[in-house]
Homo-oligomer: A and B are copies of this chain.
Amino acid sequence: MMQQNVFNMLADPTRFRIVEALVGGEQAVGDLVRAVDIDQSGVSRHLRILGEAGFVVMRPEGARRLYSLRPEPFQAIDDWVASYRKLWEGRLDRFDAALARKSEERK
């Protein structure tokens, strides 16, 4: 099921930039601060919010905290937008059926 929470996370420009910065792999808070251009306290807060929403996980390494993306919310978006695919694909061919099957594998 799709809760709009997921889009709420990405709607904030700073959080979006954080997510985009994390797609390449895990990053320490300090690295993200440099990537995002708000105060470090704000980055930490956004990371907490993202964590509570299931977007990121944290792994301590010494004094640093390494954050990385979790796949679930992105899978949820992928599944959700699939139901809108009919908007730009007129028909349901064999390929789309394969897509649907692939999507089923996740459950």
Separation of A8 and B16 alpha carbons in the complex (Å): 11
A36-78 vs B, CB cutoff 8 Å, 1 = contact: the mask equals 0000000000000000000000000000000001110011011
B69 and A74 contacting across the interface, CB-CB below 8 Å: no
Q: A100 at interface (Cβ–Cβ under 8 A)?
A: no
B23 and A84 contacting across the interface, CB-CB below 8 Å: yes
Separation of A96 and B1 alpha carbons in the complex (Å): 25
Chain A residues 58 to 107 lying within 8 A of chain B, measured CB to CB, are 69-71, 74-75, 77-78, 81-85, 87-88, 95, 98-99, 102, 106
Q: Which residues of A contact B (CB under 8 A)?
A: 4, 7-8, 10-13, 16, 23, 69-71, 74-75, 77-78, 81-85, 87-88, 95, 98-99, 102, 106
